[in-house]
Amino acid sequence: MRAPCTRASSPSSLPWFGVTAIGGSPAAALDATLQDSAEAGLPSIAVTPNQGKLLWLLARVQGARAILELGTLGGYSTIWLARALPVGGRLVTLEAEAEYAEIARANIARAGLAQTVELHVGPALQTLPQLLAEGAGPFDLIFIDADKKNNPGYFEWSLKLSRPGTLIIVDNVVRDSAILDPDADDPTLGNEGIRGVRHFFEKLAAEQGVDATAIQTVGSKGYDGFALAIVSG
pLDDT single digits (tens) 70-115: 999 999 999 999 999 999 999 999 999 999 999 999 999 999 999 9
Q: pTM for this structure?
A: 0.85
11-231: CATH number: 3.40.50.150
Contact 49, 9 (CB under 8 A): no
Going edge to edge, which strands form the sheet with 222-231? 117-121, 90-95, 66-70, 141-144, 167-171, 222-231, 210-219
> Greater confidence, 183 or 157?
157
DSSP character string of the chain? --PPPP--S-GGGSTTHHHHSSTT-SHHHHHHHHHHHHHTT--S-SPPHHHHHHHHHHHHHHT-SEEEEE--TTSHHHHHHHTTSPTT-EEEEEES-HHHHHHHHHHHHHTT-TTTEEEEES-HHHHHHHHHHTT----SEEEE-S-GGGHHHHHHHHHHT--TT-EEEEE--STTTGGG-TT---TTTHHHHHHHHHHHHHHHHH-TTEEEEEEEEEETTEEEEEEEEEE--
Q: Per-domain residue ranges for the chain?
A: 11-231
Structure confidence at residue 190 (pLDDT): 60
Residues 167-181 have a mean pLDDT of 74
Lowest mean pLDDT among 26-30, 162-166, 202-206: 26-30
Residues 174-179 have a mean pLDDT of 60
Residues 145-160 have a mean pLDDT of 95
Residues 6-18 have a mean pLDDT of 44
> Is pLDDT above 50 for 51?
yes
Mean residue pLDDT of the chain comes to: 85
The span from the CA of 114 to the CA of 48, in Å, is 22
Task: Using pLDDT thresholds of 50, 70 and 90, give the confidence band for residue 44.
Answer: confident
